[in-house]
């Protein structure tokens, strides 16, 4: 089993509403300048193995070499073999690829075959059994139809490249695509050696690309690691801040605020206590003046636990009692006795009884 590679060119292109078709002249039964050829039967048996396989190119529509993982831009859908000339048609499904074909930027393809049976024939080798393995678009600076396909663009139009031109390209190709005028005529052993060297060069190019990709990946990994380190540091800071918030006493920002709140709370409590003390003093004094209390110390002890509201109420009521007493003294009570024969307390009590609609007390006149 041996792998062989050759180049072929586009024979015709056809645009359509449903499909964009490109037909390629693959090969014929004449030995090429690569030093090998195929039999008519081998070619006829191999053509069906092409159907269903993809035709591709490199990432970003590169066409320098056979790439390890090509991007499919079409699929082989039919073939024919008139008079030993093998043609195959691909449906081009990628619009960019088809436009490159239509403008004449693309045209040559690189075909890989796997040969199962080869016999020597003078300076050449004849392949008696093979299959098509892989087909990709490739660069070829001077392929025969350069510029020929540029005018293919109308829907349903077919542009054809002459068979003779396509066949001569296949037959005349050699290592490095040297023209026939150079007289290159190598035996199969030398050809295989040069082919091996060519594949080595291709592998070296692939290795360079892989190394470049690896360097990019390594740089990306370093960047990601650095970013991850920064994220871990930020996460640690955030966790510390959360802990500090959960323990305000350890927070240097919150602690002064907490102390200030405690100080203000103490000041407010002092103001409230002072206000309560003033209300208590005023209430005791008012009650004493109104004659409702005769012992300020005892009255203070009794009223000290009253609320501010109750103290205000008692002070107001004591004031009313005092006002009533004054009014009673000035007008004199309308009783059977006069102010001269009762105490101030008795007079105040009588005024309160009258205010609450109690009957007046019957007191005996004092002689």
Whether residues 149 and 231 fall in one domain: no
Q: What is the pLDDT of residues 139-193, one digit of tens each?
A: 875 554 444 444 444 445 566 777 777 887 787 765 544 333 333 344 445 545 6
Asked whether residue 225 carries a pLDDT value surpassing 80, the answer given is yes
Domain assignment present for 303: yes
Torsion of CA 121, 126, 128, 132, to 10 degrees: 170
Q: Are strands 124-137 and 109-121 parallel, antiparallel or unpaired?
A: antiparallel
Domain assignment present for 255: no
Average pLDDT over residues 274-279: 88
Asked whether residue 114 carries a pLDDT value surpassing 90, the answer given is yes
Q: 220-259: b or e for each residue (b if 16 or more CB lie within 10 Å)? A: eeeeeeeeeeeeeeeeeeeeeeeeeeeeeeebeeeeeeee
Domain assignment present for 241: yes
Q: What is the 3-state secondary structure (H, E, C) of 216-238?
A: HHHHHHHHHHHHHHHHHHHHHHH
Average pLDDT over residues 305-316: 88
Distance of CA 13 to the CA centre of its chain: 44
Distance from C-alpha of 367 to C-alpha of 361, rounded to nearest angstrom = 18
Domain termination site, one of 159, 181, 203: 181
Whether residues 233 and 281 fall in one domain: no
- The number of folded domains in the chain is 3
Whether residues 166 and 55 fall in one domain: yes
Distance of CA 31 to the CA centre of its chain: 58
Whether residues 241 and 324 fall in one domain: no
Q: What is the residue range of 145's domain? A: 2-181
Whether residues 101 and 124 fall in one domain: yes
Domain assignment present for 254: no
- What mean pLDDT value characterizes the chain? 79
Instruction: Report phi then psi at 210, rounded to 5.
Output: -65, -40
Least confident of 104-113, 137-146, 207-216, 233-242: 137-146
Instruction: Report phi then psi at 96, rounded to 5.
Output: -65, -45
Q: pLDDT category, 231, cuts 50, 70, 90? A: confident
3-state secondary structure of 126: strand
Domain assignment present for 367: no
What tokens appear for 367 in the block? 């002689």
Asked whether residue 295 carries a pLDDT value surpassing 60, the answer given is yes
Q: What is the pLDDT of residues 2-61, one digit of tens each?
A: 889 998 888 888 887 678 999 999 999 988 888 899 999 999 999 999 999 999 999 999
Whether residues 96 and 135 fall in one domain: yes
Whether residues 177 and 194 fall in one domain: no
Whether residues 167 and 26 fall in one domain: yes
Whether residues 235 and 143 fall in one domain: no
């Amino acid at each position: 089993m041996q792998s062989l590679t050759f180049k072929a060119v586009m024979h015709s292109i056809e645009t359509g509403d449903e499909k964009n078709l490109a037909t390629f002249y693959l090969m014929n039964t004449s030995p090429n300048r690569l030093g090998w050829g195929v039999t008519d039967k081998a070619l006829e048996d191999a053509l069906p193995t092409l159907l269903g396989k993809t035709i591709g190119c490199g990432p970003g529509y590169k066409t320098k070499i056979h790439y390890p993982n090509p991007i499919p831009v079409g699929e082989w859908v039919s073939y024919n073999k008139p008079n030993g000339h093998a043609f195959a048609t691909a449906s081009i499904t990628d619009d960019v690829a088809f436009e490159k074909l239509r403008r004449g930027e693309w045209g040559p393809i690189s075909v890989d075959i796997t040969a199962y049976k080869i016999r020597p024939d003078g300076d050449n080798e004849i392949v008696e059994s093979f299959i098509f393995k892989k087909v990709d678009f490739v660069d070829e600076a001077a392929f025969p139809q350069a510029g020929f396909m540029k005018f293919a663009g109308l829907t349903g139009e077919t542009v054809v490249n002459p068979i003779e031109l396509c066949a001569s390209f296949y037959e005349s190709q050699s290592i490095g695509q040297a023209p026939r005028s150079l007289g290159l005529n190598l035996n199969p052993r030398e050809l295989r050696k040069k082919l091996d060297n060519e594949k080595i060069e291709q592998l070296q190019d692939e290795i360079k690309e892989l190394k470049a990709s690896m360097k990019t990946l390594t740089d990306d990994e370093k960047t990601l690691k650095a970013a991850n380190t920064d994220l871990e540091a930020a996460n640690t800071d955030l966790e510390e801040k959360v802990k500090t918030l959960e323990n305000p006493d350890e927070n240097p920002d919150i602690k002064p605020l907490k102390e200030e709140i405690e100080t203000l709370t103490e000041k407010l409590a002092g103001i409230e206590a002072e206000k309560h003390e003033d209300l208590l003093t005023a209430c005791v004094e008012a009650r004493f003046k109104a004659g409702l209390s005769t012992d300020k110390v005892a009255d203070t002890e009794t009223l000290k636990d009253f609320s501010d509201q109750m103290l205000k109420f008692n002070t107001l009521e004591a004031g009313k009692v005092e006002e009533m007493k004054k009014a009673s003294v000035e007008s004199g009570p309308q009783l059977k006795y006069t102010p001269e024969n009762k105490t101030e307390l008795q007079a105040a009590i009588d005024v309160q009884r009258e205010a609450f609609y109690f009957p007046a007390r019957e007191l005996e006149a004092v002689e």
